Amino acid sequence: SAQLNQLAKAAGKLYFGSATDNGELTDAAYVAILEDANMFGQITPGNGQKWEYTEPSQGQFDYTSGDQIVDFAESNGQIVRCHTLAWYSQLPSWVGDGTWTVDTLTSVLNTHIANEVGHYKGQCRSWDVVNEALNEDGTYRENVFYTVIGESYIPLAFEATAAADPDAKLYYNDYNIEGTGAKQDGAVTIINLVKDAGAKIDGVGMQAHLIVGTIPTQSDLETSINSYLSAGVTEVAYTELDIRFSSLPPDDAGLQQQATDYGTVTQACLAVDACVGITIWDYTDKYSWIPGVFAGSGAALPWDENLSEKPAYSTISSVL
């Protein structure tokens, strides 16, 4: 039977993809599924391109981890979404705890982006340029960049990325912006902020870290997508999709609800031409980030811990 990326492409999407991480690439059974471009036409490095790894001390760049994932994807003919540049989390302490002026931190941000995006030039279909810049109420998150530079760090990051790789699609990426509300309005404000500064923004990435049985309706998912397109981006994507259980283990009815929820997100992407693809945040519960961060939660992905397909897999494939 046809596999997810094949089905997504036949439905007019660019890809169906997965995140992965360096340590997992020694698991042969895991890799056998991940490397199949009919299943996953796109890969996102789950960690290796983050600042703490790529510039652990000022001016010392290290692309070992990121390169391993990007090279893996390229050798399999898979598209790469590159992730991520300006983010408050997984920042090395020299940035997060540094003593900065507007000028010195602007220089640090520009240098980081020029170096990293330059290193990966031509290898990234897209970059998540700015990640998670919003609070839940739609205001800007108090991170080191915002506190020192102000909101202009956002267009500045987009300008620097465009300068270093003019062909990459440039994304704003966040969670809880899949449905409608204050945070989704905040993402629209960011699109306008970047455009008003004369910088390029191509897309909005909706992370979609969702909870079984509580996801937005398909109508709200589409309304949110359309609000981004109306504000002037040309594409959107589900960039980190997982749909977790808040208590474990799930029963059969729960697994069916999870399948329905994965189907709803897939339907929303299919319903809007400008939704270019769906990326799940790893494909198996064996390597999901969820249990480590949301204690007691998990079972969020379409493959279980034994790499067997769950009901969510069947529903995604039948919807595609």
Q: Which among 132, 159, 178, 235 is annotated as catalytic?
A: 132
**Number of residues in contact with ligand XIL under rule CB under 6 A:** 6
3-state secondary structure of 46: coil
Nearer to ligand XIL, 174 or 261 (CB): 174
The residue at minimum Cβ distance from ligand XIL is 289
Count CB neighbours of 101 within 10 A. Answer: 10
Nearest-angstrom CA–CA distance, 150 and 285: 39
| Largest interatomic CA distance in the chain | 58
Least CB distance from residue 102 to ligand XIL, whole Å? 26
Nearer to ligand XIL, 298 or 311 (CB): 298
Is 309 catalytic? The answer is: no
**Which residue number, 198 or 292, has a Cβ lying nearer to ligand XIL?**
292
Return the SS3 of 90.
coil
Q: Which of 131, 161, 184, 297 binds ligand XIL (CB under 6 A)?
A: 131
240 catalytic residue (yes or no): yes
**55, 240, 261, 285: which one binds ligand XIL (CB under 6 A):** 240
Angle among Cα 158, 5, 86 to the nearest 5 degrees reads 20
Distance between CA atoms of 320 and 318, rounded to whole angstroms? 5
What residues numbered 29-88 form the site for ligand XIL, per CB under 6 A?
Answer: 46-47
The burial class, CB within 10 Å (0-12 / 13-18 / 19+), for 230 is exposed
Asked if the bond preceding 45 is cis, omega within 30° of 0, the reply is: no
Q: Which of 40, 140, 289, 303 binds ligand XIL (CB under 6 A)?
A: 289
Query: Of 20, 207, 279, 317, which lies in the binding site for ligand XIL, with binding defined by CB under 6 A?
Result: 207
Cβ contact 124:82 at 8 Å: yes
Which positions lie near ligand XIL, rule CB under 6 A? Answer: 46-47, 131, 207, 240, 289
Residues marked as catalytic: 132, 240
